[in-house]
Chain A
């Protein structure tokens, strides 16, 4: 009976709480409260820059109805006096998955190439039809953590998929249920670069595939809108419905920030970008995106550097990140880039406060910090008229604090959300801290109460020494237990007291024998208050490790610039009709080769004595996979739509190592996972420049094709047997199919009929029109012959066969077709199809009149291409001059760049290498490597950089040790190891 009544009571309470105006009431009378609440005498941050001292905040129901110095307070107002306290708009977490269960992972291991959903888009990772609001469940525990951290409103979404559908903006209130919580059920559309875990669909497997997928999706939306589609697509319809919402995309790193912004620009979308916290690396490029950023503040912990061996392999980049990341918000602020701060990436919400204070200690302006948590998120979400400030008409979402919210010692008392109070810590706690003396029974006790006001601790001693004690102080009641016995015979005195002032503690003591006596403890008038619980993180602020270009080992403090250079008395390998010129001068001016001759003079030039040295054109690698974040898009058998240009990684140390081997230009090819691969990036190795600035201006257009074992997935494991083609027979049909489709596509396009823009077919049609060139990975003669025949049947030519290890068997046919050959010097025996690969390949092809080059396909070999070219002298007796052209002029011709690079000729780009001796001798090394007149590698500077790296590592290790010695948390080392990419790399 009692239980039943209780339940009823509970039910009653609940129903009162959630009752809506238009809901019927069966539990009692409809009680309407039209009182106001006023907060007076507070310092009010109406917005981050508008602050009122001794102001009044007046709220009615869920809204602010008045704020300022003189606010008229109606009679029916409950008034709180907040003298000495501050009021802030409560924070908004703009990027969260609060209240959304984690997506369930798909099971099974069979490769999947088609979408699993019917009636939706062809790719399972495009999920615009998801609505967070439909799966949202209020998570009270998580809400409490957020409320305690100062958040009033959270913007949540389903963190799964590349397009993730709409999010929901919810108030963190227990009152009134979801009716009251939901501020906006479609707060924006969310995107990311990560696939859905709910599906195994393979495409996309790479960053460039992901970006291409987004592009095609936008094209498909545009086409669907025209009503041309004969079928229904619920995903595209959802995309159309969501297109006017703010588009928030999780990019996650500085390189990805730039990549996604580019896609957005192409379709007239300005994304709000969720960054990686490393935006400082190339802040000028970040600024150029004009995007608003959502920044994580999950700053890395210091590494535990006690194991000297493991520390020696910890990368400088990771160490620098520890030093630099806390400065990220400040650097964005300094560059006037708008951003919001979020809880993204934090292990616990508790870290938010710590890291926020850290960001401030590292120079983030407090006003900007407040904006990043209030007005900026409100603006991002289009809710500036409801959230983010305490102007009249806004939601009554505010914080009551003991003072400056960004001061570590400040106490957050209350977090009011939609006009409802949530208590965080007790307000107006009587400060009982201090020294007291009291006499209980016959013994005199000295009691020192210390620590924080609301959770103080006690130390108790008598004339004979210190005693164990435990203090509890809550809701004005104090309980103190003092241990007076010894370890064998435990005895306690228990005190209780209702506190009514800060100078006297008076109450009852229960002695160890059970007798009760009264006691009075008086505070010593000038007793000291110690507060040891809060440590200021300011002491922990280290100077930022300098940002270099790129921001990794061997980066430059300042990007080197163009010089006027005069090489005197060099042996010059011209690669032109002049052959090898002895005792010759070369003048470099404005990034070009200006003059070649003897006794050249120019007073403004920096003279380099090249006596006994050799000067050559920079090496060009036709087949490289360095400097890219990904190599293969393996999700489809044709991926012509993807481009390595979108994956270029300017921070790869192999750029620097290649420079040290005399390499100045490379073609970064897509891998060989599929017959039709992706588009190339042809770059100059301008170490320190951004990804886009590495790419050739007006770059010739190239695409990778591939044949043989890799495209058949022969060496991918036994369950990879479902993707077409699995045989060389099938490979031919893939090409036939795609080129036939490209032809039809072109026809449709030129007919004037509306058509669905297909990026893949656009690219393939460029091949048919001779605007884009193929470099095809190839091994055995049958397939080489086949591809030439396919091309001929579609009236175009294959530009280059790369690898082409059995090219020598069909050299005559290749010559007739007019295709170039870019091969390895001596690789073979690594897989079945290279059984007949011979190191004489290059010489036979060359002798047969095929334009021939030597390439690397390998980060190590590429820095020794001069050695590899020399092997063709050994194997087959190619002349030294011709062998040298295999890695300079010939690849330049293949890449259609020989009007700019590849030889030492007046007017060409000054891409030059100064060698210590014969450029193809195993005994020589590159002393200077110059691109467009800028010295990117210099042996002398390399020595300096080595010293600098050593010093910097030492400094950072010292700081981390200091950090650990202070008792602060560290993380175990997980040192990065470079993953070297080849054709076969995923």
Chain B
């Protein structure tokens, strides 16, 4: 008897926690017809037709330019967007923040470029599936701890396993630039900043490692050095160098560092004070992946809307800007569209705001040949929303596709919603 109960229990738990099944591979062509297409390059096409074949967009234009093929998905009056791309996330690495056993994003060691996020990425994560109903379909998964945290990868968010998920494996090495200021915690007081006395020393440590790795990569070493191996690609530009850095001084130093060591693709991640070094960023053509906009300014005397207007300050100066998720709790990554939308309240145009989480981010991540825009030849990784997807009032997805596969918009959360709504049906 007892055993039977256990079996039933186990079964019911299985049913409860079963995640959404990944969509089937596209077999037939289809066309999305009638929506306003937000291309992702700063333009829109109303009454658009988007043709999708073999997982790719094969045509995108207005009624006069493009003829629909295959099944017609009539979404007249709705909006179609390229997938939102979330950079620098812990998706699939962290399930519940406060439960240590469910955290896999912070490895020890200090300088560990060889540690790879991809293989720990959990496709069954309940947090991951909760991204899709908001239009976040692609994400970069990055390790977080130490001076060199490890190597990130880019995945799509509807997969059976991490191999299926991978869009670009081992795309970048993540670095935490030392903070020129250290935080002092004193009981009963607000924490405070003071000069970080180990700042130079930490940079020296980083320098030594990079110099040694570079020498190693030139060849002739008799033994394999795993960390050095992982640095391959950094100096020929096939791998990127993503540096988490927020302070003005840190950004200046990080740029000088990359130059000095001939690291090709530096990306500033965070960039809280990037607006203070706009000329330098422009001169060196350094892209910036800003922190999300729903942040308080770090100093009391800062403008209250500093984080809202930061994207505009950089965009106006002609800097390539995206928004990433490093500074938020994992689950909040689904709010990515609204972080972009908030930048509009500070004066950025809606089309420019959209670029922050589509084409700009794709360019910064080096996946713009496949993702970030609704253009012929691109992956059919896109979604349809009833209304403006950057505004929380109107972001409401009806269809989403990854490589032309129709993706489920159901989640653990929508299931609970439906179950309990059903429970109360007719009661009130």
What CA separation (Å) do A611 and B194 show in the bound complex?
A: 49
**A812-B424, A848-B424, A849-B428 given; A880·B193 CB < 8 A:** no
CA gap between A863 and B335 in the complex, in Å: 16
Contacts A657-B296, A860-B296, A942-B304 given; indicate if A839 touches B193 (C-beta within 8 A). Answer: no
Contact with B along A795-837 (1 / 0, CB 8 A): 0000000000000110110010000000000111111101110
Q: Which residues of A contact B195 (CB under 8 A)?
A: 307, 310, 972-973
Interface set, chain B 365-415, CB cutoff 8 A to A: 390-396, 413-414
Asked if A313 meets B299 with Cβ closer than 8 Å, knowing A844-B421, A975-B193, the reply is yes
Could you say which residues of chain A place their CB within 8 Å of the CB of B393? 870, 873-874, 880, 918, 920-922
Binding stretch for chain B, among A429-437, A536-544, A752-760, A976-984: A976-984
In the complex, are the beta carbons of A827 and B331 less than 8 A apart?
Answer: yes
Q: Does A923 have its Cβ within 8 Å of any Cβ on chain B?
A: yes
Stretch at the interface among B78-86, B94-102, B168-176: B94-102
A309 lies within 8 A of B420 (CB): no
Given A828-B331, A847-B428; A922-B390 close (CB under 8 Å): yes
Which of A553, A921, A972 is close to B194, meaning CB atoms less than 8 Å apart?
Answer: A972
Determine which of A715, A863, A953, A975 lies in contact with B98 in the assembled complex, contact meaning CB atoms within 8 Å.
A715
Q: Are B301 and A831 in contact, with the CB atoms below 8 A? A: no
Known contacts A829-B331, A923-B344; A657/B193 CB under 8 A? no
Identify the closest chain B residue to A651 (Cβ).
Answer: B300
Closest CB in chain B relative to A786 CB, distance in Å? 19
Q: Tell whether A316 is near chain B: CB-to-CB under 8 Å.
A: yes
Is the C-beta of A157 less than 8 angstroms from some C-beta in chain B? no
B24 within 8 A of partner (CB)? no
Cβ contact within 8 Å between A808 and B416: yes
Closest Cβ–Cβ distance, residue A844 to chain B (whole Å): 6
Question: In the complex, are the beta carbons of B417 and A838 less than 8 A apart?
Answer: yes
**Contact: A922 with B392, CB < 8 Å?**
yes
Is A656 part of the contact surface with B, judged by Cβ < 8 Å? Answer: yes
User: Which listed residue (B303, B392, B428) contacts A946, Cβ 8 A?
Assistant: B303
If A921-B393, A978-B296 touch, whether A829 touches B127 (CB-CB below 8 Å) is yes
Question: In the complex, A854→B270 CA distance in Å?
Answer: 29
Give the shortest distance, in Å, between A927 (CB) and chain B (any CB). 12
CB neighbours (8 Å) of B396 from chain A are: 874
Residues of B within 8 A of A978 (CB): 190, 296, 300
B41 at the interface (CB under 8 A from A): no
Distance, CA A299 to CA B300, complexed state (A): 23
For window 176-200 of B, CB contacts with A under 8 Å fall at: 180-181, 183-184, 190-195
Which residues on B sit within 8 Å (CB–CB) of A976?
Answer: 190-193, 300
Q: In the complex, what distance in Å separates the CA atom of A811 from the CA atom of B425?
A: 12
Closest to A917 in B: B345
Bound form: Cα–Cα A636–B62 in Å: 68
Cβ-defined contact, B294 with A921, below 8 A: no
Across-interface contacts of B295 in A (CB, < 8 A): 860
Q: Among the listed A657, A844, A867, A946, which residue makes an inter-chain contact with B338, where contact means beta carbons less than 8 Å apart?
A: A867
Is B345 touching A829 in the complex (CB atoms < 8 A)? no
Report the bound CA distance from A439 to B390 in whole Å.
95
Please tell me if the beta carbons of B329 and A830 are within 8 angstroms of each other in the complex. yes
A63 within 8 A of B: no
Which parts of B226-264 form the interface with A (CB within 8 Å)?
A: 247-249
Q: For B350, list chain A residues within 8 Å (CB).
A: 923
Q: Which residues of A contact B180 (CB under 8 A)?
A: 309-310
Residue B55, interface by CB 8 Å: no
Chain A residues, Cβ within 8 Å of B304: 656-657, 660, 863, 942
Nearest-Cβ distance from residue A436 to partner chain B, whole angstroms = 51
Chain B residues near A849: list those with CB within 8 A: 428
Q: CB-CB contacts of A834-863 with B at 8 A, as 1s and 0s?
A: 111011100010011100000000011101
Q: How long is the Cα–Cα vector from A238 to B97 in the complex, in angstroms?
A: 50
In the complex the two chains form, what is the Cα distance from A830 to B331 in whole Å? 8
Give the residues in chain A near B98, CB-CB below 8 Å: 709, 715, 830-832
A978 and B395 alpha carbons, distance in the complex (Å) = 33
Question: Who on chain B is nearest to A873 by CB?
Answer: B393
A848 contacts across to B, CB distance below 8 A = 424, 427-428
Please indicate the chain A residues that have their CB under 8 angstroms from the CB of B394 in the complex: 873-874
Size class of B's contact patch? 35 or more
A458 → chain B closest CB, angstroms: 43
Residue of A nearest to B390 (CB): A922
Most A CB contacts (10 A, CB to CB) among B95, B300, B345, B421 go to: B300
Q: Which residues of A contact B271 (CB under 8 A)?
A: none
Asked if B322 CB lies within 8 Å of chain A CBs, one says no
A838: nearest chain-B partner, CB-CB: B413
Q: Is A358 at the interface (CB under 8 A from chain B)? A: no
Task: Collect the chain A residues with CB atoms within 8 Å of residue B427's CB.
Answer: 812, 848
Contacts of A923 in B (CB 8 A): 341, 344-345, 350, 391
Complex CA–CA separation, A808 to B417 (angstroms): 8
Closest Cβ neighbor of A652 among chain B residues? B300
A979 with B390: CB separation less than 8 A = no
Measured between beta carbons, the chain A residues less than 8 angstroms from B249 are 309
CB distance B424 to A829 under 8 Å? no
| Cα-based distance from A980 to B304 in the complex (angstroms) | 15
Q: Roughly how many angstroms separate A972 CA and B249 CA in the complex, as a whole number?
A: 18
Complex alpha-carbon distance, A600 and B299, angstroms: 43
Distance, CA A815 to CA B390, complexed state (A): 34
Q: Within 8 Å of chain A (Cβ to Cβ): is B122? A: no
Q: Say how far B313's CB is from chain A's closest CB, in angstroms.
A: 14
- Which residues of chain A have C-beta atoms less than 8 A from B97's C-beta? 829-831
User: Residue-by-residue, is A504-528 near B (CB-CB < 8 Å gives 1, otherwise 0)?
Assistant: 0000000000000000000000000
Q: How far is the CA of A571 from the CA of B423 in the complex (A)?
A: 38
The winner among B190, B194, B299 for most chain A CB atoms within 10 A is B299
Min distance, Cβ A621 to any Cβ of chain B, angstroms:
15
Q: Kindly report which residue of chain A lies nearest to residue B302, judged by CB atoms.
A: A553
Whether B193 contacts A922 by the Cβ 8 Å rule is no
**Most chain A CB atoms below 10 A, which of B183, B249, B295:** B249
What are the residues of chain A within 8 A of B191 when measuring CB–CB?
976-977, 979
Give the residue name and chain of the A residue nearest to B420 (CB).
A808
Q: How far is the CA of A22 from the CA of B194 in the complex (A)?
A: 61
Which residue on chain A has the smallest CB distance to residue B295?
A860
Which of B96, B294, B342, B421 is close to A830, meaning CB atoms less than 8 Å apart?
A: B96
Kindly report which residue of chain B lies nearest to residue A849, judged by CB atoms: B428
Contact of B12 with A by CB under 8 A? no
Residues of A within 8 A of B294 (CB): 860-861, 864
Min CB–CB distance A957 → chain B (angstroms): 12
**B107 within 8 A of partner (CB):** no
Known contacts A829-B127, A973-B194, A979-B190: A844-B345 contact under CB 8 Å: no
Residue A871 at the chain B interface, CB threshold 8 Å: yes
**A312 in the interface (beta carbon within 8 A):** yes
Chain B residues, CB < 8 A from A925: 305, 345
A315 touching B300 by the CB < 8 A rule?
yes
Q: Quick one: closest B residue to A984, CB to CB?
A: B98
| Contact residues in A for B335 (Cβ distance below 8 Å) | 826
Given known A310-B195, A829-B329, A848-B428, contact A553–B190 (CB-CB < 8 A): no
In whole angstroms, how far apart are the Cα atoms of A946 and B396 in the complex? 38
B265 beta carbon closer than 8 Å to chain A: no
15 pairs across A/B with beta carbons < 8 Å? A307-B195, A310-B181, A657-B304, A815-B428, A829-B330, A830-B96, A838-B413, A848-B424, A848-B428, A849-B428, A874-B395, A918-B393, A923-B350, A923-B391, A972-B195
Q: A315-B299, A709-B98 are in contact. List 7 more A-B contacts (CB 8 A).
A: A309-B248, A310-B195, A812-B427, A867-B342, A870-B391, A874-B392, A874-B396
What is B's interface to A at a CB cutoff of 8 Å? Answer: 95-99, 126-127, 180-181, 183-184, 190-195, 247-249, 294-296, 298-301, 303-305, 329-331, 334-335, 338, 341-342, 344-345, 350, 390-396, 413-414, 416-417, 420-421, 423-424, 427-428
- Which residues of A are at the interface with B, using a C-beta cutoff of 8 A? 307, 309-310, 312-313, 315-317, 552-554, 653-654, 656-657, 660, 709, 715, 808-809, 811-812, 815, 826-832, 834-836, 838-840, 844, 847-849, 859-861, 863-864, 867, 870-871, 873-876, 880, 916, 918, 920-925, 942, 946, 949, 953, 972-980
